[in-house]
Amino acid sequence: MAMGNDDFSRYLMDRIRLLEERNSLLLEQANKIEIEKRFSESQKLKFERELRQLKSELERLKTPPLVVGTVVDVLNNGRIVIRSSTGPQFVVGSSQFINSPELMAGVRVSLNYQSLAVVDILPSSRDPFVNAMEVIDSPEITYSEIGGLDEQIREVRETVELPLTKPEIFQRIGIEPPKGVLLFGAPGTGKTLLAKAVANETKATFIRIVGSELVQKYIGEGARIVRDLFKMAKEKAPTIIFIDELDSIGAKRLDTATSGDREVQRTLMQLLSEMDGFNNRGNIRIIAATNRPDILDSALLRPGRFDRFIMIPMPNKDARALILKIHSRKMKLSDDVDFDKLSALTDGANGSDLKAIVMEAGMLAVREERYNICIDDFQKAIKKLLTPTTKQNLHSEGMFA
Ligand SMILES: Nc1ncnc2c1ncn2[C@@H]1O[C@H](COP(=O)(O)OP(=O)(O)OP(=O)(O)O)[C@@H](O)[C@H]1O
Ligand SMILES: [Mg+2]
């Protein structure tokens, strides 16, 4: 039995429909698989990323610690002398990625723990070597801002400035210029101020250390810092070294010493030997300041060490008027302000009290939203700050020290 034409074409149609259905099914499947593939690929990427992160975390945890050190010197051949935080010094190399101009004495660096090669320069400079002494470029204080100390200023300049600027005068006369001067006097009378003004008015490098910080903040480091101080002074000469609050390291040595005292004594011994060590004609001068000259070790006072002593007195009536005027120079004053009259009311006040009085008077005017300060403000401020009880409070809290 033969198939009729109609039958055949129906058969073909069916077949085509079937194939088409299959085709679309397959397409659908292909799509599904494609989607699954993409999903798997993205999963793969995700896991790979996670793996990388875990690997690097593992690396991080396994990395040996970096040692912190301080650069002591950079040698000509590119090698570097460093002091590790534990004490000893080493000559080491450095990573090529370090910006070499920044690598200089005093900079804090991190070191590879095995080779101690310099790996990085640390930003903060809280290392005592860097922080305990302060190289002051130019503190913005001039002699004209110091009231009532003209004679003392002249004397300091003669001992400190003149040998630096005109050494030939001393040679001509044939005398050795004094090595250092000691400023002494009651608290708040302008000793630190005067030393800062000297720094500003001379072109010399000015390095300041504060005795109390040496013994309180940098325990165990005092002697080393003093040694580094003089080394730096020689390198940067002409230099003025300013040792503020000398009494903290220069107090009389006692027989019954605690370990803290012994540390202070080591610092003092180092200071004495450095002072003896440097050449008098060299261009290093020392200014020291103290408000307790009575407790200083007599070794400091022997000739060849501090051989000029300059007493910074409490301000007298004229000086007090001048100091009030200096501190209110930039303020708007009403016409009734008469500094001579005010100065008569401030018997017993030191420079820093007078500064506080001016500030307080200014605050009174600000509080009442006035345009200028009148004599009444000053009188109120004096009454407030100089009545015995508040004055005592101020000084005991060291607020205006
Ligand atoms: N003669 C002065 N002329 C102008 N201002 C002064 C004078 N004396 C002190 N002052 C003011 O008082 C502040 C404290 O003075 P300074 O730090 O110089 O005192 P000091 O003598 O070093 O005291 P201490 O013995 O406590 O260290 C100064 O910043 C300054 O504003
Ligand atoms: Mg001082």
At residue 387, the pLDDT reads 78
Q: What is the pLDDT of residues 292-344, one digit of tens each?
A: 988 888 888 888 788 789 999 999 999 999 999 999 999 999 999 999 999 99
Q: Is residue 197 part of a domain?
A: yes
* Ligand 1 atom 25: residue of nearest CA: 187
Shared-domain flag, residues 56 and 73: no
Find the mean pLDDT for residues 342-354.
94
Strands 239-244 and 180-184: unpaired
- Give the ligand with the smallest distance to the CA of 327: 1
- Residue whose CA is at the smallest distance from ligand 1 atom 19: 188
Cα 53 from Cα 47, distance rounded (Å): 10
- Residue 3: DSSP 8-state: P
Q: Are residues 147 and 231 in the same domain?
A: yes
Strand partners for 369: none
64 CA from centroid of ligand 1 (Å):
50
Whether 229 is in a domain gets the answer: yes
Q: CB under 6 Å to ligand 1: residues?
A: 146-149, 187-193, 289, 291, 323, 326, 351-352, 355, 401
Residue 218 has pLDDT above 60, yes or no: yes
CATH of the domain at 367: 1.10.8.60
Could you tell me the CATH number of the domain that includes residue 252? Answer: 3.40.50.300
Write the pLDDT tens digit of every residue in 115-159. 888 888 886 544 444 455 666 655 678 899 999 999 999 999 888
Which ligand is closest in space to the CA of residue 243? 2
Give the pLDDT score at 38: 93
Residue 236 burial class via C-beta count within 10 angstroms: exposed 0-12, middle 13-18, buried 19 and up: middle
Q: Which two tokens stand for residue 373?
A: 């300060």
Distance CA 35, CA 51 (A): 24
State the CB neighbour count (10 A cutoff) for residue 202: 19
Using DSSP, state whether 339 is helix, strand or coil.
helix
Which residue from 70, 60, 300, 308 is spatially nearest to 178, judged by alpha carbons?
308
Give dist(CA 76, CA 53) in Å, integer: 42
Q: Give the domain range for residue 16.
A: 7-62
322 touches 148 (CB < 8 A): yes
Q: Please check whether residue 338 lies inside any domain of the structure.
A: yes
What confidence tens digit (pLDDT) does each residue in 3-29 have?
688 899 999 999 999 999 999 999 999
Domain boundary pick from 45, 62, 79: 62
Residues 338, 180: contact at Cβ < 8 Å? no
Q: Are residues 191 and 289 in the same domain?
A: yes
Q: What is the pLDDT of residue 397?
A: 44
Residue 298 falls inside a structural domain: yes
Contact call for residues 214 and 248 (beta carbons, < 8 A): yes
3-state secondary structure of 5: helix
* pLDDT of amino acid 401: 38
Residue 2 lies in a domain: no
Ligand 2 centroid, distance to 262 Cα (angstroms): 25
For residue 312, the Cα-to-chain-centroid distance in whole angstroms is: 28
Which tens digit of pLDDT belongs to each residue from 81-99? 888 766 778 898 888 787 7
Same-domain check for residues 159 and 274: yes
Mutate to test the pocket of ligand 1, among 144, 146, 184, 189 (most ligand atoms within 8 A of CB): 189
Q: How many domains does the chain have?
A: 4
Residue where a domain terminates, one of 259, 287, 311: 311
CATH number of the domain to which 101 belongs: 2.40.50.140
Chain CA centroid to CA 382, Å: 35
Q: How far is CA 394 from CA 91, 263, 345, 352, 353, in A?
A: 51, 31, 18, 11, 9
For 233-245, write each residue's pLDDT tens digit: 888 888 889 999 9
Question: Cα(297) to centroid of ligand 1, in Å?
Answer: 25
Co-location of 391 and 377 in the same domain: yes
Residue 1 lies in a domain: no
Instruction: Report which of residues 192 and 265 the model is more confident about.
Output: 192
What does the pLDDT read at residue 85? 67
pLDDT reported for residue 237 = 80
Let me know whether 111 and 200 are in one domain.
no
Ligand 1 atom closest to the CA of 194, numbered from 1 = 18
Cβ atoms of residues 114 and 148 within 8 Å = no
Both tokens assigned to 169: 């005068």
Average pLDDT score over residue span 57-84: 84
226 Cβ contact partners less than 8 Å away, ≥ 6 residues apart: 209, 214, 267, 270, 271, 274
- Amino acid 398: pLDDT: 43
Domain check: are 33 and 95 in the same one? Answer: no
Q: What is the Cβ-side half-sphere exposure of residue 296, based on CA atoms within 13 angstroms?
A: 23
Q: What is the DSSP letter of 368?
A: T
Which two three-digit tokens encode residue 230? 């003089």
Q: Which of 40, 62, 84 corresponds to the end of one domain?
A: 62
Within a domain: 374: yes
- 274-298 burial, b at 16+ Cβ within 10 Å, e below that, comes to bbeebeeeebbbbbbbbbebeebbe
CB of 299 closer than 8 Å to CB of 272:
yes
For residue 371, the CA-to-ligand 2 centroid distance in Å is 34
Are residue 261 and residue 353 in the same domain, yes or no?
no
Closest ligand 1 atom, CA of 291? 25
Give nearest CA residue, ligand 1 atom 18. Answer: 190
Helix H or strand E segment including 172: helix 167-173
Look at residue 183 and tell me if it is in a domain. Answer: yes
383 in the same domain as 326? yes
Tell me the mean pLDDT in the region 201-220.
Answer: 80
Same domain, 137 and 267: yes
CA 187 to ligand 2 center in whole angstroms: 7
Q: What is the DSSP string of 181-231?
A: EEEE-STTSSHHHHHHHHHHHS-SEEEEEEHHHHHHTSTTTHHHHHHHHHH
Task: For residues 187-201, give the mean pLDDT.
Answer: 89
pLDDT of residue 181 exceeding 80, the answer is yes
Residue 280: predicted pLDDT:
61
Partners of 68 in beta bridges: 110
What gap in Å lies between CA 105 and CA 84, rounded to an integer? 13
Q: Identify whether residues 225 and 368 lie together within a single domain.
A: no
Residues 164 and 32 in one domain: no
Number of H helices, E strands in the chain: 16, 11
pLDDT tens by residue, 245-292: 998 888 776 655 555 677 778 888 888 888 888 766 668 889 999 999
Strand ranges for 268-314 from DSSP E: 284-290, 306-311
What is the DSSP-derived secondary structure letter of residue 291? S
Enter the tokens of residue 110: 């991190």
Ligand 1 atom closest to 312 (CA): 21
